[in-house]
Amino acid sequence: MNARIPTSLPFADWAKQVQSGMEDVLDRFLAPVSVVPARLHEAMRYTAMDGGKRVRPLLVYAAGDVFDTPLPLLERAAAAVEMIHVYSLVHDDMPCMDDDALRRGKPTVHVKYDEATALLVGDALQAQAFATLSAPLEAELATADAGMPARQLRMLNLLAQASGSVGMCGGQAIDLASVGMTLSLSELEQMHRLKTGALLRAAVLLGALGGKALTADESAALDDYARAIGLAFQVVDDILDATADSATLGKTAGKDAADNKPTYVSILGLGESQALAEKLRGNAHQALAPFGDKARRLRELADLIVQRKA
């Protein structure tokens, strides 16, 4: 992606451009296979560069549209948040965690390579996420805005917090501890707020933070939006896990029930879960009202998250 994607494009085309552009951006920020150790770099690319829905990058770019964030910052943020997401999947699939053999329709890293390589691929992708977000900016951009390093620093701190023990890793620890237990709806919500919500929220805020300084009202509105789509994302995940097949999902379906994991469907039932997802979509739209037409892509992403089939 060398230029901003016009907002006049239909959503599906816009999304496709972001998704295919992400392959280029990731290619730029991951070491080539020709660099030693070749096998590690090959495995990092195997898992990071094969499409996927790229929901988090889409959120970064959509939020960037609202706040006119410079493209080089959006690219770094989108690549970094996706690397964090991908590393978490690689580790999550390992035998000591979910022990899953299939991801995005392909063998998982520890199956295709080996467990030690999967561990290192995840570790190295996390490091590369922070290397990417802290990478020096093009000289024109750095000199055009003296506040740029401070902004980049805030973005790094946000991503690090969202990824760690009070964010994504913390949510996974709660998830592990909850297998076979009866969770209340609010306990389930807290787990997902950390496990998937924190990184989705980070994606929205990263896209915004790279632009002009946010007012307290704007921050609060983005937080409301992020909370709604974060929760909706998980509710829909649980619905799909219960209703879709593995071929459609590109990963093992029905796994939550088999693993005896508490889900929205197991607690609320299918109908109420679907109603909740729809209600959260409404909340997300409502939160975006102050941003008017500039938030069009964020609105469309809330729709995508709730209406997706995989």
Pick the piece of the chain touching a copy of itself (CB under 8 A) from 34-42, 217-225, 238-246, 291-299: 34-42
Pick the piece of the chain touching a copy of itself (CB under 8 A) from 122-130, 214-222, 254-262, 278-286: 122-130
**Minimum distance of a copy of itself from residue 237's CB (angstroms):** 20
| CB 208, CB 62: distance < 8 Å | no
Pick the piece of the chain touching a copy of itself (CB under 8 A) from 126-134, 250-258, 265-273, 279-287: 126-134
Question: Taking CB under 8 A as the rule, does residue 170 contact a copy of itself?
Answer: yes
Question: Taking CB under 8 A as the rule, does residue 196 contact a copy of itself?
Answer: no
286 Cβ contact partners less than 8 Å away, ≥ 6 residues apart:
224
| CB 54, CB 63: distance < 8 Å | no
Query: What is the signed CA dihedral for 138, 73, 57, 205, rounded to 10 degrees?
Result: 170
Question: Taking CB under 8 A as the rule, does residue 111 contact a copy of itself?
Answer: no
Q: Which of residues 73-92 bind a copy of itself (CB under 8 A)?
A: 87-88, 91
Look at residue 106 and give its three-state secondary structure.
Answer: strand
Q: Is the peptide bond before 37 cis (omega within 30 degrees of 0)?
A: yes
Task: For 102, list phi and psi in degrees, rounded to 5.
Answer: -130, 135
| CB 14, CB 22: distance < 8 Å | no
Given the rule CB under 8 A, which residues bind a copy of itself? Answer: 31, 35-37, 39-41, 44, 87-88, 91, 94, 96-97, 114-117, 119-120, 122-124, 126-128, 130-131, 134-136, 146, 149-150, 152-153, 156-157, 159-161, 163-167, 169-170, 172-174, 176-177, 190
